[in-house]
Structure 1
Amino acid sequence: MEKRHSYNIVILVVFFSSALIGTLLPMKEELETSTIITVTAAQIEFISSLFLVVGACSSLIWAILSSRFSRKKLLLIAILEWSICAALTGLANNFISLLIFQLMTAIGFGAIIPITFSLIVDLKKPKERGFAFGWKETNYVLGIGFAQILSGFLIEHYPWFVPFLVISIGGFACAFLVAQMTPPTKGEMDNVNGRSDISATWIRREDLKLIIQKKSNAFILIFNLALFIGLGAVSINLSHLLSNATDHNFSIETATIFLVIIYVTQIPSGALLGKLSDKTYKSDVNGRIKIAILCLIIGASLYIIGFSMNFKSTAPIGIIAIFLLITGAGAFFFGGIDPLLQATIGEINTPQLRSTMYSLNYLAFTFGRSISLLVLMGLASSFGFYRLGFVILSIISLASTIFLIPLLKTVPRELYVTE
């Protein structure tokens, strides 16, 4: 298969892989009352949180392997592993078996982030990476949303494991395409004087030290940890906020429709803001960071306003429309942050270091997301409703801006890419 198709295949892999994150949690109430599996809602929340932690930890191992072995072969192995384990999840009949199958799935899932990020850097030129990562992020969000919608609708009419089978089939299709894919060589888009700056075929112990020596890397890692402590649980639990009786009390079907509406507003954000950042990057190397800061301030502020609204499903349609408009706009701006920082990571690190840095970055926001889930569940259990937790998490997201501002000084000094 021609190399020009490789990027689209990578995007499809991201879509189906990210769906693994959003499949289980939306069906927690239904599984708690199911007669074919014995598990509580609290146990499902624990599994979902641990899934992210295991995926994050395994991603570092996959990143190390990807610097020594073929990224295409590793990606193929990972996709087949999580596809098989996702299908086997349907055999679970209690908490322990569900936990085992989900953690096995998480191991393969952990390969997706560092390897696909690394491939995209080598498939796209520096000036194209803002849009490329933006479209990748759009499909990452779409994958999670697809899984939530799939689970929300199918759980009412089919056995609980059907969404896992659907995603597993998608995974096998991705594996077939990856097997036909022509992968890029490492560093081929960053050649300087005809040579690529890859000094070794595996990650040395000094590499981690080299990554942290760059202040920009440290600020990005800290920022993503803080951002996802605030933002991580919001998208995954939005349907619960909408359907919870003590919050907005919509039916699960209506909550799922509203979830679709909010996700639709986020679909174009990564690509559009990435394209805008590519244009500003030509004249200002800080262009991507400035746009990311602006997106964060606007997005978090809109979330704070939207989640502060206190209304029920019986409220006037105008109130509900305002809520959807505000939260949808907030989701749009949040969707532009991650791809801009991913592109920045690709510009301040050598090809040898990128897979490891992307994996460390994934560790940061995944641990942040896990903490966010625990914080939200703790607040919801204490107060009996989700809304206050959503507001507090949005405030934490806004406060994380303090870790982005220093990048305006450090990034121009640490750029690796030679235009």
Structure 2
Amino acid sequence: MNTSNIKIIYTIFVFVALAAFDNIIIGLFPPLFSSIAKDLNIQVYLLGIASAVNILVTSLSSICWGYLAGKFNRKRLIMIGTVFWSASVYLTSRCGSYTQLFIFQFFTGLGLGCIASIGFSVLTDYIPYKFRGMLLSLWGMSQGFGGIVGALMASLIAPATSWRKPFEVVSIIGFLLIIMYFFIREPNLGESEPELQDIIKAGYKYNPSIEFKYLYDIISRKSNVLLFLQSFFMNITTGSLIWLPTLYISKIQHQGYSMKTAIIASGYLFAIFQLGGLTSPFFGYLGDILQEKTYKGRSLLTSFFIFITMIFYIAMFLIPMNKLSLPDSNNSLLVLLDLLRQIIMNPWISMIFLLSFLASAAQSANTPNWLALITDVNLPEYRGIAFSIANLANGLGRAIGNAGVGVLLSVVSLYVREPQKYIITLSLFELFLIPSSLFYIKMSKNNEEDINEVKSILRKRAKLIK
């Protein structure tokens, strides 16, 4: 293996790892809502709003980062953005009021926007076309498991210290990432496109850059419009799932356990119950195979799995944690061992685990195929900004889902008690997966036309460069 290949693998590894961090920070919040609210003497729903604003600002700022990625050195940009969000996360750990927390989370979002847009732009220039879905699944999976890591960090570190310590740890890791950036190799634009392989091997460069006048072409492309809409509705549901640890805490406390035990157990359950997400590479590979046969393949495949995701999640919410047996202590290891035993021995917990595995597995089909589609239907120089606009739709949906749960909970709680109020609220938010699934079906009719157009333009430009 030559030095160039080692640098490519290293760069992919760094950006895949980096993809987790915006979700780690988002995942830190829900398990700590109660602790932060008590410390700052505020209502819990205000923290849901702060978390939603962080998501929204991250998505808005990613458009600016995506535009800059199409014009300037992406390696320098990602370093600047990482310094920004790492410093803001550290300041969050030092805040003494809700106003300070809100401001620091706002600035954290401004920095985090660089991760998705620049990371996506770099990776799509490296990943071979025929493996696009499968390898992009690793990037998407890293994002998904970032939320789990964040929840685990909050559940394991905070009970032994304070809610501030997990934010400190994440900020330190962020600063360490900056050192790793010095050794990455920025790829040539369009390096992975089959239509450009001959000119790149001959030493030529494909170097069109993004301009404001091209934004209308990106926004008006039929496949892009449907991908934006699909992402918006999908992420209303995804944003609501950030409240899953709160549902678990409520169910565990309903069984008679203390808040500290419930927080520890909920972090483990959130991680264990999302293990189905590990199947994402399989669905990306399946999408790659179907896409070779027809350009409608990815969208139709993903539509089916999104719909059944809704069914599995609602069924999982409804099942109670009857006969739950845990040590009522702060010993994290003992709680984990008993939870694993419960999954095997307690049929109620076993059923929840099975349904959650199926739900998270079906949900994981979306990310690799969505990422591959938005890559396929856009020119290389458009991808950073196209993804950023889509990420805005993504962030708007997640923000609405995150904050919307808090708002709807306040209404539902007038009529039902815990944990039923969480079950009803989260189940209602699953219904947004229906339009998300339908947009994929409609999109399948446009994919073939848009993908063929991109390939035709690249072939024409390659001939002109020669």
TM-score band w.r.t. shorter chain: over 0.9
CA shift for structure 1 position 173 = 2.1
Partner of 2:236: 229
Distance 2:191 2:158 in 1: 46
Task: Tell whether 2:427 aligns with 1:391.
Answer: yes
8 Å CA contact 1:63, 1:355 repeated in 2: yes
Structure 1 residue identity aligned to 2:157: L
Distance 1:5 1:148 in 2: 27
Give TM-score scaled by structure 1 length.
0.93
Identity %: 22
The question of whether the paired residues in 1 share the 8 Å contact of 2:84 and 2:111 is answered with yes
Shift in alpha-carbon separation, 1:80–1:305, aligned structure 2, 3 A: same
SS of match in other structure, 1:285: coil
Residue identity in the other structure for 1:14:
A
Partner of 1:211: 218
Residue correspondence of structure 1 range 132-211 to structure 2 within 5 A: 132-190=135-193, 191-192=195-196, 194=199, 200-201=208-209, 203-211=210-218
With over 3 angstroms needed to count, the CA separation of the structure-2 counterparts of 1:70 and 1:139, relative to structure 1, is same
* 1:255 counterpart (248, 259, 266): 266
User: Please, which moves more after superposition, 306-315 or 378-387?
Assistant: 306-315
Opposite residue 291 of structure 1, the aligned amino acid is L
Distance 1:245 1:189, change over 3 A: closer
Could you tell me whether the CA contact under 8 Å between 1:14 and 1:139 is conserved in 2? yes
- Report the Cα offset of residue 291 of structure 1: 2.0
Conserved 8 A contact 1:376-1:389: yes
Summarize deviations over 1:310-355 as a string: whole Å, max 9, x none.
5556599212211221122101110120221111111110011111
Q: Which protein has the larger Cα radius of gyration, Structure 1 or Structure 2?
A: 2
Aligned twin of 1:120: 123
CA apart distance, 1:379: 2.1
Aligned counterparts of 1:17 and 1:302: Cα–Cα separation in 2: 27
CA deviation digits over 1:340-397, x for unaligned, max 9? 1111111110011111110011100110011112321122111222101111111221
Q: Which residue of 2 aligns with 1:291?
A: 301
- Give deviations 1:227-273, integer Å, cap 9, x for gaps: 11223211x1111111115996562222222112112221x222121
Q: How far apart, CA to CA, are the structure 1 residues paired with 2:111 and 2:98?
A: 21
Higher deviation after alignment, 192-201 or 132-141:
192-201
Residues 138 and 313 of structure 1: is their aligned pair in 2 closer, same or farther, counting only changes over 3 Å?
farther
1:38: Cα distance to partner? Answer: 4.2
Instruction: Please identify, of 191-200 and 304-313, the stretch whose mean Cα deviation from structure 2 is larger.
Output: 191-200
Runs (4+) of structure 1 exceeding 6 A deviation are none
Q: Which residue of 1 aligns with 2:276?
A: 265
3-state SS of paired residue (1:322): helix
Amino acid aligned to 2:27: G
Are 1:404 and 2:409 counterparts?
A: no
The normalised TM-score by structure 2 is: 0.84
Written as runs of structure 1 = structure 2, the 5 A alignment for 1:5-404 is 5-34=10-39, 37-190=40-193, 191-192=195-196, 194=199, 200-201=208-209, 203-234=210-241, 236-244=242-250, 249=255, 251-266=262-277, 268-310=278-320, 312=322, 314=324, 317-384=346-413, 385-404=421-440
In the TM superposition, what whole-angstrom CA distance separates every residue of 1:265-305 from its partner, at most 9, and x where no partner exists? 21x22212112222222223222212211221221121122
The number of aligned residues is: 414
- CA–CA separation in structure 2 for the residues paired with 1:301 and 1:232: 17
SS at match of 2:28: coil
One-letter amino acid of the structure 1 residue matched with residue 249 of structure 2: S
Greater percentage in helix: 2
Letter matched to residue 379 of structure 1: L
Any unmatched runs of 5+ in structure 1?
none
RMSD, aligned α-carbons: 2.2
